[in-house]
Amino acid sequence: MTKYIRIKNGECSFTIIEEFDSIENAANSSNEGINAEVKIDNLKVDFTTVKKEHDGKHQNASAEAKGSSREETQEVSGSQAQSK
């Protein structure tokens, strides 16, 4: 079965909210808190790439079989998604 991978590239703003048991632990930026909550805002998709996933069955398949050495498409940047 052939599988395809969609990769979305873009930008966003994010906020991470963590809980700590003391002010000293919270003030030290190298410490990780518990119950982390992540909020993503202003999501902007710049472009999307679709690639064929290599399943390992046809490792020596040549480009002549499909007529192209590149099996990759990119959408126009106008296709943007907004979500939170």
In a domain, 17, yes or no: yes
State how many domains the chain has: 1
Instruction: Give the alpha-carbon dihedral of 56, 62, 67, 71, to 10 degrees.
Output: 40
Kindly state whether residue 42 falls inside one of the protein's structural domains: yes
Does residue 21 sit within a domain? Answer: yes
Residue 2 maps to a domain: yes
pLDDT in tens, 9-64: 999 999 999 999 999 999 999 999 988 899 999 999 999 999 998 766 655 544 44
Do residues 4 and 53 touch, judged by C-beta distance below 8 A? Answer: yes
- pLDDT computed for residue 47 by the predictor: 95
User: Strand ranges (DSSP E) for 1-84?
Assistant: 4-19, 34-52, 72-74
Task: With respect to residue 61, please indicate whether it lies within any of the assigned structural domains.
Answer: no
Rounded Cα distance, 71 and 73, in Å: 7
**pLDDT of the residue at 54:** 76
Q: Say if 35 falls within a structural domain.
A: yes
Range of the domain at 13: 1-53
User: Is-contact 44 9, C-beta < 8 A?
Assistant: no
Confidence of residue 71 (pLDDT cuts 50, 70, 90): very low
